[in-house]
C-alpha cells in the first residue's frame, strides 16, 4: 500500500504545480479557486488511473510476461516528461479567466499521465478502486493547498514539485522492474 501512497503523491505533482500557478496568477477568490481546482483535479486524477488499470487488465494476458517492463517504461516516460515540463514555461500564464471549461481542459491535461500510470496498478497487489480513491484524495488535497501556496509564495515551488513527481515516478518504475 505504500507504493500506492507514493504513486498518488507523485501523480498529484502535475496538478499541484498547476494549482500553484493558478493561485499565483489568479489570486482573487482564492477559496473558490482552490475548491474548484481540488474537485476537478482530484476527480480526474482518481478516475483516469482506473481507466488505465482496466485497459491494462484487458491487455495483460497478451503481455503478462512483460508487464513489469511495460509498467517501468510507462512510468519512466511519464517521469521524463514531468521532469522536462518542470523546465518549460507553464500554461497558467496565458489563462486570463478561470472557467469550468478551462478547469476541465487542465484536469484532462494533468491526468493523462495518471491514466498511463494506472497500468502499473495491474502489477501491484492492490485493490484498484481503493488505489484510485487514494490517488484522487491525495490530488484533491495537494490541489487545494497548491492554490493557497501559489497565492502566498508565487511560482517558485511550481517547477520543483513537477520535477520531484517525475523523479518519484521513475523510481517507482525501477522498483516495479526489480521486484
pLDDT band (50, 70, 90) for residue 31? very high
pLDDT at 38 over 90: yes
Q: How far apart, in whole angstroms, are the C-alpha atoms of residue 171 and residue 179? A: 12
Show the domain range for 104.
2-178
- Lowest-pLDDT range of 34-38, 54-58, 154-158: 154-158
Total tally of structural domains belonging to the chain:
1
State pLDDT tens for residues 43-96: 999 999 999 888 877 776 676 677 778 778 888 888 888 888 778 765 555 566
In terms of residues, how long is the chain? 179
Instruction: Residue 143: count other Cβ atoms within 10 Å of its Cβ.
Output: 31
Q: What is the mean pLDDT of the chain?
A: 85
Whether 108 and 44 have beta carbons less than 8 Å apart is answered as yes
C-alpha cell at 131: 488505489
Model's pTM, two decimal places? 0.80
pLDDT at 42 over 80: yes
Instruction: Residue 100: count other Cβ atoms within 10 Å of its Cβ.
Output: 9
Q: Give the DSSP letter of residue 6.
A: H
pLDDT computed for residue 64 by the predictor: 65
Q: How far apart, in whole angstroms, are the C-alpha atoms of residue 74 and residue 118? A: 10
Mean pLDDT to the nearest integer, 168-179: 80
Mean pLDDT to the nearest integer, 153-176: 80
Amino acid at each position: 500500500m505504500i507504493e500506492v501512497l507514493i504513486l498518488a503523491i507523485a501523480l498529484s505533482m502535475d496538478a499541484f504545480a498547476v494549482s500553484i500557478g493558478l493561485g499565483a496568477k489568479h489570486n482573487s477568490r482564492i477559496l473558490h479557486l482552490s475548491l474548484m481546482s481540488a474537485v476537478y483535479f482530484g476527480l480526474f486524477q482518481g478516475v483516469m488511473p482506473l481507466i488505465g488499470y482496466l485497459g491494462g487488465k484487458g491487455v495483460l494476458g497478451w503481455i503478462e510476461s512483460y508487464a513489469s517492463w511495460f509498467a517501468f517504461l510507462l512510468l519512466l516516460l511519464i517521469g521524463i516528461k514531468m521532469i522536462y515540463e518542470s523546465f518549460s514555461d507553464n500554461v497558467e500564464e496565458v489563462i486570463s479567466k478561470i472557467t469550468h471549461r478551462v478547469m476541465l481542459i487542465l484536469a484532462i491535461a494533468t491526468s493523462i499521465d495518471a491514466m498511463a500510470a494506472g497500468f502499473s496498478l495491474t502489477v501491484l497487489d492492490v485493490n484498484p478502486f481503493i488505489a484510485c480513491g487514494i490517488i484522487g484524495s491525495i490530488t484533491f488535497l495537494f490541489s487545494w493547498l497548491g492554490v493557497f501556496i501559489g497565492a502566498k509564495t508565487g511560482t517558485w515551488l511550481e517547477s520543483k514539485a513537477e520535477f520531484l513527481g517525475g523523479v518519484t515516478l521513475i523510481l517507482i518504475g525501477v522498483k516495479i522492474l526489480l521486484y
